[in-house]
Amino acid sequence: METPLPFRWKPLHIDRYDGTTDPDEHVDLYITQGFPDLAQGAALNWYTQLPVESIDNFDTLVRRFTTQFATSRPHHVTSAALASLRQGDDKSLRAFMERFASISVKIQKLNPKVTLHAMLMALKPRPLVDSLCLRSPLDMVELRARAAGYIQMEEHSAFRDQVRNKP
């Protein structure tokens, strides 16, 4: 506490940790900037209730902190999430493709063949599926390109039905 602040030291600009987000990310931010001034809520309560002299070095603090808030780490999505995904009868092709994409980008080291297979299994039977059965896509790039045309047809058809049903 008696050590003078380094020349050009600036105050910290990191949100306080509240115990609900990834503790590893917070530690990474703190390593370069600081800890006690960044805690709030449950994290601040935990920190202030640590027994005196129970933290002998920074590694101990990190280990105890990450252990305490381990359940706040984000859930890691696996390819099983794609295997259980299905296009609902009431879901548009666009909505399904967007949902599929949002899940697949969260999966680390996802095998492209697994992605393609999961997509083919998830699509509901419609003209796109018929087209894919007649000529299998080589990869997801081709599948997405072909799906774009069917999305356009689906949306055009919905628009046309909407216009026809207006009084």
Q: Where are the domains of the chain?
A: 23-72, 80-164
What's the pLDDT band for 33 if we cut at 50, 70, 90?
low
User: What is the rounded average pLDDT for all residues in the chain?
Assistant: 86
Q: Burial-class residue 39 by CB neighbours within 10 Å (0-12, 13-18, 19+).
A: buried
What's the pLDDT band for 38 if we cut at 50, 70, 90?
low
Q: How many CB atoms lie within 10 A of CB 110?
A: 17
Is 45 in a helix, a strand, or coil? helix
Of 59 and 74, the structure prediction assigns the larger pLDDT to: 59
Provide the pLDDT for residue 21: 87
Tell me the pLDDT tens digit for each residue of 80-94.
Answer: 999 899 998 888 999
Q: How many CB atoms lie within 10 A of CB 5?
A: 7
Q: How far is CA 106 from CA 28, 79, 119, in A?
A: 21, 10, 15
Integer Cα distance of 6 and 24 in angstroms: 26
Provide the pLDDT for residue 156: 93
In CATH terms, is domain 80-164 a member of 1.10.1200?
A: yes
Average pLDDT for 28-32: 66
Provide the pLDDT for residue 8: 65
* Contact (CB, 8 A) for 38 and 15: yes
- Please determine, for residue 167, whether its predicted confidence score (pLDDT) is greater than 80: no
Provide the pLDDT for residue 15: 81
Structure tokens at 151: 């999305």
Average pLDDT for 40-68: 85
Provide the pLDDT for residue 7: 67
Structure tokens at 11: 């105050």
Tell me the pLDDT tens digit for each residue of 102-153.
Answer: 999 999 899 999 999 999 999 998 899 999 999 999 999 999 999 999 999 9
Tell me the pLDDT tens digit for each residue of 141-159.
Answer: 999 999 999 999 999 998 8
Q: Which helix (H) or strand (E) holds 141?
A: helix 140-164
Provide the pLDDT for residue 43: 84
Provide the pLDDT for residue 32: 54
